[in-house]
Chains A and B, each alone.
Chain A
Amino acid sequence: MNDHDVIDNLAESDDCLFCSDHIEEAALGILEAEDQERFEHHLSGCSICRAELARLDTAVQLLPFAVNQIEPDAALKLRLHERFLQERDAEPTRIPSPRKSESRIRGRKAPSRPMWTFGSVFAGFCVALAVIGLWNLLPSNESSTSMSGRNFQVYAMQSSDDQSGGHIGADPDSKDGTMMAWNLDPSEKHEIWCVDHEDNRWKVDDLVVADSGSAMQTVTFPKEISTYKQIYVMRNDGTQELSVAPNQAINGDEPAPSESTPAGD
Protein backbone atom coordinates (compact mmCIF):
# COMPACT_ATOMS: atom_id res chain seq x y z
CA MET A 1 0.00 0.00 0.00
CA ASN A 2 1.49 3.34 -0.96
CA ASP A 3 0.96 6.71 0.71
CA HIS A 4 -1.70 7.65 -1.77
CA ASP A 5 -3.79 4.64 -0.74
CA VAL A 6 -3.19 5.41 2.90
CA ILE A 7 -4.61 8.89 2.49
CA ASP A 8 -7.58 7.60 0.53
CA ASN A 9 -8.34 5.01 3.18
CA LEU A 10 -8.04 7.55 5.92
CA ALA A 11 -10.72 9.72 4.41
CA GLU A 12 -13.43 8.51 6.72
CA SER A 13 -15.47 11.64 7.01
CA ASP A 14 -16.27 14.67 4.91
CA ASP A 15 -13.79 16.66 6.92
CA CYS A 16 -11.11 14.00 6.46
CA LEU A 17 -11.86 14.02 2.73
CA PHE A 18 -11.56 17.77 2.69
CA CYS A 19 -8.34 17.54 4.68
CA SER A 20 -6.77 14.92 2.43
CA ASP A 21 -7.73 17.01 -0.60
CA HIS A 22 -5.95 20.06 0.80
CA ILE A 23 -3.15 18.55 2.84
CA GLU A 24 -0.42 19.28 0.28
CA GLU A 25 -1.44 22.93 0.10
CA ALA A 26 -1.50 23.07 3.88
CA ALA A 27 1.95 21.50 4.14
CA LEU A 28 3.28 24.02 1.62
CA GLY A 29 1.65 26.88 3.53
CA ILE A 30 -0.46 28.08 0.61
CA LEU A 31 -4.00 27.20 1.67
CA GLU A 32 -6.50 29.82 0.65
CA ALA A 33 -7.88 31.80 3.56
CA GLU A 34 -11.39 30.37 3.35
CA ASP A 35 -10.08 26.80 3.52
CA GLN A 36 -7.57 27.51 6.28
CA GLU A 37 -10.13 27.79 9.05
CA ARG A 38 -11.93 24.58 8.17
CA PHE A 39 -8.63 22.76 7.80
CA GLU A 40 -7.30 23.93 11.18
CA HIS A 41 -10.59 23.17 12.85
CA HIS A 42 -10.55 19.61 11.58
CA LEU A 43 -6.88 19.18 12.34
CA SER A 44 -7.32 20.18 15.96
CA GLY A 45 -9.54 17.13 16.48
CA CYS A 46 -8.09 14.57 14.06
CA SER A 47 -4.85 12.90 15.04
CA ILE A 48 -4.69 10.93 11.77
CA CYS A 49 -4.65 14.03 9.58
CA ARG A 50 -2.24 15.70 12.00
CA ALA A 51 0.14 12.77 11.66
CA GLU A 52 -0.09 12.85 7.88
CA LEU A 53 0.63 16.56 7.82
CA ALA A 54 3.63 16.01 10.10
CA ARG A 55 5.01 13.41 7.65
CA LEU A 56 4.74 15.82 4.74
CA ASP A 57 6.32 18.52 6.84
CA THR A 58 9.55 16.58 7.07
CA ALA A 59 10.01 16.98 3.31
CA VAL A 60 8.66 20.52 3.13
CA GLN A 61 10.98 21.73 5.87
CA LEU A 62 13.93 20.78 3.71
CA LEU A 63 12.85 22.85 0.71
CA PRO A 64 14.42 26.13 1.90
CA PHE A 65 17.80 24.41 1.98
CA ALA A 66 17.66 23.87 -1.79
CA VAL A 67 18.36 27.52 -2.57
CA ASN A 68 21.82 28.81 -3.33
CA GLN A 69 23.51 30.47 -0.40
CA ILE A 70 23.89 34.19 -0.84
CA GLU A 71 25.52 36.67 1.50
CA PRO A 72 23.49 39.77 2.40
CA ASP A 73 24.92 43.26 2.68
CA ALA A 74 27.51 43.39 5.46
CA ALA A 75 25.68 46.34 7.05
CA LEU A 76 22.56 44.26 7.58
CA LYS A 77 23.82 42.85 10.86
CA LEU A 78 24.34 46.32 12.25
CA ARG A 79 20.93 47.48 11.03
CA LEU A 80 19.26 44.50 12.67
CA HIS A 81 21.24 45.04 15.87
CA GLU A 82 20.15 48.68 16.10
CA ARG A 83 16.57 47.89 15.27
CA PHE A 84 16.49 45.12 17.85
CA LEU A 85 17.74 47.46 20.57
CA GLN A 86 15.24 50.10 19.52
CA GLU A 87 12.26 47.72 19.52
CA ARG A 88 13.37 45.94 22.66
CA ASP A 89 13.52 49.23 24.55
CA ALA A 90 10.16 50.31 23.17
CA GLU A 91 8.52 46.98 24.01
CA PRO A 92 6.31 47.16 27.11
CA THR A 93 7.60 44.86 29.82
CA ARG A 94 5.63 41.66 29.82
CA ILE A 95 3.05 41.57 32.59
CA PRO A 96 2.84 38.27 34.40
CA SER A 97 -0.54 36.79 35.22
CA PRO A 98 -2.09 38.10 38.45
CA ARG A 99 -1.62 34.89 40.40
CA LYS A 100 2.13 34.95 39.82
CA SER A 101 2.63 38.66 39.56
CA GLU A 102 2.65 39.84 43.13
CA SER A 103 6.06 38.61 44.09
CA ARG A 104 7.60 39.72 40.83
CA ILE A 105 6.09 43.19 40.70
CA ARG A 106 6.61 43.84 44.36
CA GLY A 107 10.06 45.17 45.13
CA ARG A 108 10.74 46.80 41.79
CA LYS A 109 9.46 49.76 39.93
CA ALA A 110 6.84 48.59 37.53
CA PRO A 111 6.86 50.43 34.23
CA SER A 112 3.98 52.85 34.06
CA ARG A 113 2.49 51.97 30.69
CA PRO A 114 1.86 48.26 31.22
CA MET A 115 0.46 48.85 34.69
CA TRP A 116 -1.82 51.52 33.32
CA THR A 117 -2.88 49.19 30.55
CA PHE A 118 -3.45 46.33 32.92
CA GLY A 119 -5.28 48.55 35.35
CA SER A 120 -7.57 49.97 32.71
CA VAL A 121 -8.38 46.58 31.28
CA PHE A 122 -9.04 45.14 34.71
CA ALA A 123 -11.24 48.08 35.67
CA GLY A 124 -13.14 47.67 32.42
CA PHE A 125 -13.51 43.99 33.13
CA CYS A 126 -15.02 44.70 36.55
CA VAL A 127 -17.38 47.28 35.08
CA ALA A 128 -18.44 44.81 32.40
CA LEU A 129 -19.11 42.15 35.02
CA ALA A 130 -21.16 44.60 37.04
CA VAL A 131 -23.16 45.65 33.98
CA ILE A 132 -23.86 42.06 32.97
CA GLY A 133 -24.80 41.26 36.54
CA LEU A 134 -27.26 44.17 36.72
CA TRP A 135 -28.65 43.23 33.34
CA ASN A 136 -29.39 39.73 34.50
CA LEU A 137 -31.21 41.02 37.57
CA LEU A 138 -33.74 42.68 35.30
CA PRO A 139 -36.86 40.65 34.48
CA SER A 140 -36.41 38.87 31.22
CA ASN A 141 -38.13 36.01 29.46
CA GLU A 142 -34.86 34.32 28.75
CA SER A 143 -33.23 34.72 32.12
CA SER A 144 -36.18 34.22 34.42
CA THR A 145 -35.95 30.44 34.39
CA SER A 146 -32.28 29.79 34.73
CA MET A 147 -30.52 32.99 35.60
CA SER A 148 -30.46 34.39 39.05
CA GLY A 149 -28.04 37.15 38.17
CA ARG A 150 -25.97 36.25 41.21
CA ASN A 151 -24.30 33.12 40.00
CA PHE A 152 -21.34 34.83 38.41
CA GLN A 153 -18.11 32.96 38.23
CA VAL A 154 -14.65 34.03 37.28
CA TYR A 155 -12.65 31.43 35.45
CA ALA A 156 -8.87 31.68 35.34
CA MET A 157 -7.44 30.72 31.98
CA GLN A 158 -4.23 28.72 32.10
CA SER A 159 -1.40 29.85 29.88
CA SER A 160 0.56 27.40 27.76
CA ASP A 161 3.81 29.28 28.32
CA ASP A 162 3.26 30.91 31.72
CA GLN A 163 3.52 34.37 30.20
CA SER A 164 0.06 35.29 29.07
CA GLY A 165 -3.00 35.09 31.23
CA GLY A 166 -6.71 35.59 31.14
CA HIS A 167 -10.06 35.41 32.91
CA ILE A 168 -13.59 34.79 31.82
CA GLY A 169 -16.39 36.26 33.89
CA ALA A 170 -19.77 34.67 33.30
CA ASP A 171 -22.84 32.98 34.66
CA PRO A 172 -22.25 29.32 33.81
CA ASP A 173 -25.90 28.96 32.79
CA SER A 174 -25.62 31.82 30.36
CA LYS A 175 -24.21 31.96 26.86
CA ASP A 176 -22.63 35.36 27.46
CA GLY A 177 -19.38 36.11 29.17
CA THR A 178 -16.61 38.64 29.29
CA MET A 179 -13.10 37.60 28.44
CA MET A 180 -10.05 39.50 29.57
CA ALA A 181 -6.53 38.50 28.58
CA TRP A 182 -3.07 40.00 28.78
CA ASN A 183 0.47 39.48 27.54
CA LEU A 184 -0.67 38.21 24.18
CA ASP A 185 1.38 38.83 21.06
CA PRO A 186 -0.51 41.56 19.18
CA SER A 187 1.16 40.62 15.91
CA GLU A 188 -0.62 37.28 15.99
CA LYS A 189 -4.22 36.43 15.28
CA HIS A 190 -6.09 34.90 18.21
CA GLU A 191 -9.35 33.00 18.13
CA ILE A 192 -11.70 31.93 20.90
CA TRP A 193 -12.80 28.29 20.66
CA CYS A 194 -14.90 26.01 22.82
CA VAL A 195 -15.35 22.27 22.95
CA ASP A 196 -18.26 20.42 24.55
CA HIS A 197 -18.30 17.04 26.23
CA GLU A 198 -19.06 15.32 22.92
CA ASP A 199 -15.89 16.87 21.48
CA ASN A 200 -17.79 19.21 19.18
CA ARG A 201 -15.76 22.34 18.59
CA TRP A 202 -16.85 25.83 17.73
CA LYS A 203 -14.93 28.90 16.84
CA VAL A 204 -16.70 31.50 18.95
CA ASP A 205 -15.05 34.71 17.84
CA ASP A 206 -11.76 36.39 17.04
CA LEU A 207 -10.07 37.82 20.10
CA VAL A 208 -9.10 41.40 19.37
CA VAL A 209 -5.72 42.09 20.96
CA ALA A 210 -4.58 45.68 21.50
CA ASP A 211 -1.04 46.79 20.78
CA SER A 212 -0.33 46.51 24.49
CA GLY A 213 -1.03 42.78 24.29
CA SER A 214 -4.24 43.07 26.31
CA ALA A 215 -7.73 42.14 25.23
CA MET A 216 -11.18 42.47 26.70
CA GLN A 217 -14.44 41.69 25.00
CA THR A 218 -17.86 40.24 25.58
CA VAL A 219 -18.29 36.81 24.05
CA THR A 220 -21.48 35.00 23.14
CA PHE A 221 -21.07 31.23 23.09
CA PRO A 222 -23.27 28.91 21.03
CA LYS A 223 -24.46 27.13 24.19
CA GLU A 224 -24.50 27.70 27.94
CA ILE A 225 -20.98 27.99 29.28
CA SER A 226 -21.36 25.12 31.72
CA THR A 227 -21.90 22.71 28.81
CA TYR A 228 -18.32 23.08 27.65
CA LYS A 229 -15.48 20.99 28.85
CA GLN A 230 -12.96 23.54 27.61
CA ILE A 231 -12.80 27.08 26.37
CA TYR A 232 -9.54 28.13 24.81
CA VAL A 233 -7.71 30.81 22.88
CA MET A 234 -5.82 29.56 19.86
CA ARG A 235 -3.04 31.28 17.96
CA ASN A 236 -2.97 31.30 14.17
CA ASP A 237 -0.32 28.60 14.16
CA GLY A 238 -2.85 26.23 15.73
CA THR A 239 -1.33 26.19 19.20
CA GLN A 240 -3.26 26.98 22.33
CA GLU A 241 -2.39 30.15 24.18
CA LEU A 242 -4.91 30.02 27.02
CA SER A 243 -7.46 27.51 28.16
CA VAL A 244 -9.93 26.86 30.92
CA ALA A 245 -12.29 24.08 31.93
CA PRO A 246 -15.51 25.84 32.93
CA ASN A 247 -16.04 23.58 35.93
CA GLN A 248 -13.26 25.36 37.76
CA ALA A 249 -14.16 28.81 38.94
CA ILE A 250 -11.87 30.78 41.22
CA ASN A 251 -14.31 32.94 43.11
CA GLY A 252 -17.07 30.69 44.27
CA ASP A 253 -18.62 27.30 44.46
CA GLU A 254 -18.20 24.89 41.62
CA PRO A 255 -21.06 25.56 39.28
CA ALA A 256 -23.59 22.78 39.16
CA PRO A 257 -23.90 20.99 35.82
CA SER A 258 -26.49 22.67 33.66
CA GLU A 259 -29.69 20.82 32.97
CA SER A 260 -30.83 23.22 30.33
CA THR A 261 -31.05 21.96 26.78
CA PRO A 262 -28.16 23.20 24.64
CA ALA A 263 -29.28 25.64 22.04
CA GLY A 264 -27.08 24.06 19.42
CA ASP A 265 -25.12 25.79 16.73
Chain B
Amino acid sequence: MDLFLHLWVMIFIYTIFAMSLNLEMGYTGLFNFGHVAFFGIGAYVSALLTLHQVPFEFALVAALLAAGLLGFLLSIPSLRLRGDTFGIATLGFGEIIRMVFQNEVWLTKGPMGLPGIPKPVLFSYRFATLPQYLLLTLGFSVLTFLVLRIIIRSPLGRAFKAVREDEVAAVALGKNIFHFRIKSFVIGSVLAGLAGTLWGHYTTFISPGDFTLLETILVLLIVVLGGKGTELGPLVGAVVLIFFQESLRFLRLPAEWSRYLAPLQQMIFGSLLIFLMIYRPEGLLREKGAGR
Protein backbone atom coordinates (compact mmCIF):
# COMPACT_ATOMS: atom_id res chain seq x y z
CA MET B 1 0.00 0.00 0.00
CA ASP B 2 2.82 2.34 0.90
CA LEU B 3 4.46 1.57 -2.41
CA PHE B 4 1.26 2.50 -4.18
CA LEU B 5 0.99 5.82 -2.34
CA HIS B 6 4.68 6.52 -2.94
CA LEU B 7 4.18 5.93 -6.64
CA TRP B 8 1.40 8.46 -6.81
CA VAL B 9 3.32 11.08 -4.85
CA MET B 10 6.16 10.75 -7.36
CA ILE B 11 3.74 10.79 -10.28
CA PHE B 12 2.16 14.04 -9.10
CA ILE B 13 5.52 15.71 -8.47
CA TYR B 14 6.73 14.74 -11.93
CA THR B 15 3.44 15.78 -13.47
CA ILE B 16 4.02 19.30 -12.15
CA PHE B 17 7.61 19.18 -13.40
CA ALA B 18 6.49 17.93 -16.80
CA MET B 19 3.64 20.44 -17.07
CA SER B 20 6.16 23.25 -16.57
CA LEU B 21 8.34 21.90 -19.36
CA ASN B 22 5.30 21.32 -21.53
CA LEU B 23 4.43 25.01 -21.31
CA GLU B 24 7.90 25.94 -22.57
CA MET B 25 8.49 23.17 -25.05
CA GLY B 26 5.05 22.01 -26.06
CA TYR B 27 3.25 25.32 -26.26
CA THR B 28 5.95 27.92 -26.84
CA GLY B 29 8.48 25.79 -28.72
CA LEU B 30 11.44 26.55 -26.45
CA PHE B 31 13.93 23.68 -26.37
CA ASN B 32 14.88 23.76 -22.73
CA PHE B 33 17.40 20.98 -22.10
CA GLY B 34 18.48 22.26 -18.69
CA HIS B 35 15.13 22.25 -16.99
CA VAL B 36 16.52 20.26 -14.05
CA ALA B 37 18.39 23.40 -12.93
CA PHE B 38 15.14 25.04 -11.83
CA PHE B 39 13.94 21.87 -10.16
CA GLY B 40 17.25 21.83 -8.26
CA ILE B 41 17.06 25.50 -7.31
CA GLY B 42 13.57 24.99 -5.90
CA ALA B 43 14.70 21.99 -3.88
CA TYR B 44 17.87 23.64 -2.55
CA VAL B 45 16.42 27.05 -1.68
CA SER B 46 13.46 25.63 0.19
CA ALA B 47 15.58 22.95 1.92
CA LEU B 48 18.21 25.45 3.07
CA LEU B 49 15.62 27.90 4.38
CA THR B 50 13.55 25.34 6.28
CA LEU B 51 16.73 23.82 7.72
CA HIS B 52 17.39 27.29 9.13
CA GLN B 53 13.97 27.32 10.79
CA VAL B 54 12.23 29.50 8.22
CA PRO B 55 8.52 28.55 8.02
CA PHE B 56 7.65 26.41 5.00
CA GLU B 57 5.24 28.99 3.55
CA PHE B 58 8.04 31.55 3.22
CA ALA B 59 10.56 28.97 2.07
CA LEU B 60 8.19 27.88 -0.69
CA VAL B 61 7.60 31.42 -1.87
CA ALA B 62 11.33 32.13 -1.79
CA ALA B 63 12.07 28.96 -3.75
CA LEU B 64 9.56 29.88 -6.44
CA LEU B 65 10.89 33.42 -6.63
CA ALA B 66 14.48 32.18 -6.87
CA ALA B 67 13.60 29.77 -9.67
CA GLY B 68 11.64 32.47 -11.50
CA LEU B 69 14.41 35.05 -11.11
CA LEU B 70 17.01 32.61 -12.37
CA GLY B 71 14.78 31.76 -15.29
CA PHE B 72 14.42 35.44 -16.08
CA LEU B 73 18.16 36.09 -15.94
CA LEU B 74 18.96 33.09 -18.12
CA SER B 75 16.27 33.91 -20.61
CA ILE B 76 17.63 37.35 -21.46
CA PRO B 77 20.82 36.26 -23.20
CA SER B 78 19.72 32.86 -24.41
CA LEU B 79 16.25 33.50 -25.78
CA ARG B 80 17.75 35.46 -28.63
CA LEU B 81 19.05 32.16 -29.93
CA ARG B 82 17.71 29.83 -32.51
CA GLY B 83 16.19 26.59 -31.22
CA ASP B 84 19.17 24.26 -31.16
CA THR B 85 21.54 26.91 -29.92
CA PHE B 86 19.15 27.65 -27.09
CA GLY B 87 18.98 23.93 -26.32
CA ILE B 88 22.69 23.63 -25.87
CA ALA B 89 22.93 26.85 -23.87
CA THR B 90 20.36 25.53 -21.39
CA LEU B 91 22.14 22.17 -21.30
CA GLY B 92 25.32 23.95 -20.24
CA PHE B 93 23.40 26.04 -17.75
CA GLY B 94 22.00 22.91 -16.10
CA GLU B 95 25.53 21.60 -15.63
CA ILE B 96 26.70 24.90 -14.15
CA ILE B 97 23.95 24.97 -11.55
CA ARG B 98 25.00 21.49 -10.52
CA MET B 99 28.59 22.71 -10.25
CA VAL B 100 27.39 25.46 -7.92
CA PHE B 101 25.62 22.91 -5.71
CA GLN B 102 28.80 20.87 -5.71
CA ASN B 103 31.36 23.61 -5.15
CA GLU B 104 29.72 26.05 -2.76
CA VAL B 105 30.36 23.76 0.17
CA TRP B 106 29.84 26.50 2.78
CA LEU B 107 26.23 26.73 1.69
CA THR B 108 25.16 23.43 0.20
CA LYS B 109 27.62 21.04 1.96
CA GLY B 110 28.76 20.08 -1.56
CA PRO B 111 28.65 16.40 -2.52
CA MET B 112 27.65 15.47 1.06
CA GLY B 113 24.17 16.82 0.37
CA LEU B 114 21.56 18.15 2.74
CA PRO B 115 19.98 15.56 5.05
CA GLY B 116 17.00 15.94 7.36
CA ILE B 117 14.87 18.34 5.35
CA PRO B 118 11.72 18.85 7.48
CA LYS B 119 8.28 17.84 6.25
CA PRO B 120 6.26 20.83 5.10
CA VAL B 121 3.90 22.68 7.44
CA LEU B 122 1.28 24.74 5.63
CA PHE B 123 -0.92 26.99 7.77
CA SER B 124 0.02 24.98 10.87
CA TYR B 125 -1.03 21.71 9.23
CA ARG B 126 1.86 19.27 9.03
CA PHE B 127 2.09 17.01 5.97
CA ALA B 128 4.08 14.20 7.57
CA THR B 129 2.57 10.85 6.59
CA LEU B 130 2.38 9.43 3.09
CA PRO B 131 -1.38 9.95 2.60
CA GLN B 132 -1.03 13.53 3.78
CA TYR B 133 1.85 14.15 1.40
CA LEU B 134 -0.11 12.60 -1.41
CA LEU B 135 -2.89 15.07 -0.68
CA LEU B 136 -0.39 17.95 -0.78
CA THR B 137 1.12 16.94 -4.12
CA LEU B 138 -2.30 16.20 -5.57
CA GLY B 139 -3.49 19.63 -4.48
CA PHE B 140 -0.51 21.38 -6.00
CA SER B 141 -0.72 19.48 -9.28
CA VAL B 142 -4.41 20.26 -9.64
CA LEU B 143 -3.64 23.90 -8.90
CA THR B 144 -0.81 23.91 -11.46
CA PHE B 145 -3.05 22.22 -13.99
CA LEU B 146 -5.80 24.82 -13.54
CA VAL B 147 -3.39 27.77 -13.68
CA LEU B 148 -1.79 26.46 -16.86
CA ARG B 149 -5.20 25.72 -18.37
CA ILE B 150 -6.26 29.30 -17.78
CA ILE B 151 -3.01 30.63 -19.22
CA ILE B 152 -3.10 28.39 -22.26
CA ARG B 153 -6.69 29.26 -23.12
CA SER B 154 -6.11 32.97 -22.60
CA PRO B 155 -4.82 35.34 -25.29
CA LEU B 156 -1.38 34.90 -23.72
CA GLY B 157 -1.50 31.16 -24.40
CA ARG B 158 -2.55 31.73 -27.98
CA ALA B 159 0.34 34.13 -28.39
CA PHE B 160 2.70 31.43 -27.08
CA LYS B 161 1.46 29.06 -29.75
CA ALA B 162 1.74 31.73 -32.40
CA VAL B 163 5.39 32.21 -31.44
CA ARG B 164 5.93 28.48 -31.72
CA GLU B 165 4.18 28.02 -35.03
CA ASP B 166 5.34 30.96 -37.03
CA GLU B 167 7.69 33.55 -35.66
CA VAL B 168 7.51 35.76 -38.70
CA ALA B 169 3.73 35.85 -38.68
CA ALA B 170 3.70 36.62 -34.97
CA VAL B 171 6.05 39.53 -35.52
CA ALA B 172 3.97 40.72 -38.45
CA LEU B 173 0.93 40.80 -36.17
CA GLY B 174 2.80 43.13 -33.87
CA LYS B 175 3.66 40.58 -31.19
CA ASN B 176 6.93 41.01 -29.38
CA ILE B 177 8.06 37.39 -29.49
CA PHE B 178 10.94 38.04 -27.14
CA HIS B 179 8.55 39.10 -24.36
CA PHE B 180 6.33 36.09 -24.83
CA ARG B 181 9.28 33.73 -24.71
CA ILE B 182 10.50 35.30 -21.48
CA LYS B 183 7.04 35.03 -19.93
CA SER B 184 6.71 31.40 -20.87
CA PHE B 185 10.20 30.60 -19.66
CA VAL B 186 9.73 32.35 -16.31
CA ILE B 187 6.38 30.68 -15.62
CA GLY B 188 7.90 27.34 -16.56
CA SER B 189 10.87 27.93 -14.26
CA VAL B 190 8.67 28.86 -11.30
CA LEU B 191 6.59 25.71 -11.71
CA ALA B 192 9.70 23.56 -12.04
CA GLY B 193 10.87 25.17 -8.79
CA LEU B 194 7.58 24.13 -7.19
CA ALA B 195 8.09 20.53 -8.29
CA GLY B 196 11.64 20.61 -6.93
CA THR B 197 10.50 21.99 -3.58
CA LEU B 198 7.88 19.28 -3.20
CA TRP B 199 10.41 16.64 -4.15
CA GLY B 200 13.07 17.86 -1.72
CA HIS B 201 10.71 17.88 1.24
CA TYR B 202 9.45 14.46 0.26
CA THR B 203 12.78 12.63 0.02
CA THR B 204 14.20 14.74 2.92
CA PHE B 205 17.71 14.35 1.47
CA ILE B 206 19.11 16.12 -1.57
CA SER B 207 22.59 16.17 -3.10
CA PRO B 208 24.05 17.51 -6.38
CA GLY B 209 23.86 14.02 -7.87
CA ASP B 210 20.06 14.22 -7.87
CA PHE B 211 20.02 17.02 -10.43
CA THR B 212 21.80 15.59 -13.43
CA LEU B 213 20.95 15.21 -17.08
CA LEU B 214 18.98 12.08 -16.12
CA GLU B 215 16.24 14.21 -14.59
CA THR B 216 16.08 16.41 -17.67
CA ILE B 217 15.86 13.36 -19.93
CA LEU B 218 13.18 11.80 -17.74
CA VAL B 219 10.98 14.89 -17.75
CA LEU B 220 11.58 15.43 -21.46
CA LEU B 221 10.54 11.85 -22.07
CA ILE B 222 7.41 12.33 -19.96
CA VAL B 223 6.39 15.35 -22.02
CA VAL B 224 7.19 13.72 -25.35
CA LEU B 225 5.57 10.40 -24.48
CA GLY B 226 2.43 12.00 -23.09
CA GLY B 227 2.15 14.34 -26.04
CA LYS B 228 3.69 17.80 -26.39
CA GLY B 229 1.24 20.64 -26.23
CA THR B 230 -1.60 18.66 -24.66
CA GLU B 231 -3.17 19.42 -21.31
CA LEU B 232 -3.24 15.86 -19.99
CA GLY B 233 -0.10 14.61 -21.70
CA PRO B 234 2.24 15.27 -18.77
CA LEU B 235 0.05 13.23 -16.43
CA VAL B 236 -0.20 10.32 -18.85
CA GLY B 237 3.55 10.34 -19.49
CA ALA B 238 4.32 10.59 -15.78
CA VAL B 239 2.07 7.65 -14.90
CA VAL B 240 3.75 5.40 -17.46
CA LEU B 241 7.36 6.39 -16.84
CA ILE B 242 7.34 6.83 -13.06
CA PHE B 243 5.61 3.50 -12.74
CA PHE B 244 8.37 1.93 -14.82
CA GLN B 245 11.19 3.69 -12.99
CA GLU B 246 9.99 3.25 -9.42
CA SER B 247 8.78 -0.32 -9.82
CA LEU B 248 12.30 -1.36 -10.86
CA ARG B 249 13.50 0.08 -7.59
CA PHE B 250 11.08 -2.06 -5.60
CA LEU B 251 11.70 -5.34 -7.35
CA ARG B 252 14.40 -6.06 -4.73
CA LEU B 253 16.93 -7.21 -7.27
CA PRO B 254 20.32 -8.36 -5.96
CA ALA B 255 22.59 -5.45 -5.06
CA GLU B 256 25.36 -6.50 -7.43
CA TRP B 257 23.00 -6.04 -10.35
CA SER B 258 22.55 -2.37 -9.64
CA ARG B 259 25.87 -1.52 -11.33
CA TYR B 260 24.33 -2.73 -14.59
CA LEU B 261 20.71 -1.94 -13.90
CA ALA B 262 20.99 1.83 -13.61
CA PRO B 263 22.80 2.39 -16.94
CA LEU B 264 20.55 -0.17 -18.59
CA GLN B 265 17.44 1.63 -17.45
CA GLN B 266 18.83 4.92 -18.69
CA MET B 267 19.72 3.35 -22.02
CA ILE B 268 16.08 2.33 -22.28
CA PHE B 269 15.04 5.94 -21.65
CA GLY B 270 17.44 7.18 -24.32
CA SER B 271 16.33 4.68 -26.93
CA LEU B 272 12.68 5.22 -26.09
CA LEU B 273 13.20 8.91 -26.83
CA ILE B 274 14.75 8.09 -30.22
CA PHE B 275 12.01 5.61 -31.14
CA LEU B 276 9.26 8.02 -30.17
CA MET B 277 10.81 10.78 -32.26
CA ILE B 278 11.12 8.56 -35.33
CA TYR B 279 7.85 6.65 -35.14
CA ARG B 280 5.42 8.69 -33.04
CA PRO B 281 6.67 12.23 -32.47
CA GLU B 282 3.25 13.43 -31.32
CA GLY B 283 3.23 11.05 -28.31
CA LEU B 284 0.31 9.12 -26.84
CA LEU B 285 -2.12 12.03 -26.89
CA ARG B 286 -2.19 14.22 -29.95
CA GLU B 287 -2.49 17.97 -29.74
CA LYS B 288 -5.83 19.17 -31.06
CA GLY B 289 -5.60 20.80 -34.43
CA ALA B 290 -1.89 20.09 -34.80
CA GLY B 291 -0.75 19.76 -38.39
CA ARG B 292 0.70 16.44 -39.60
A associates with B:
no
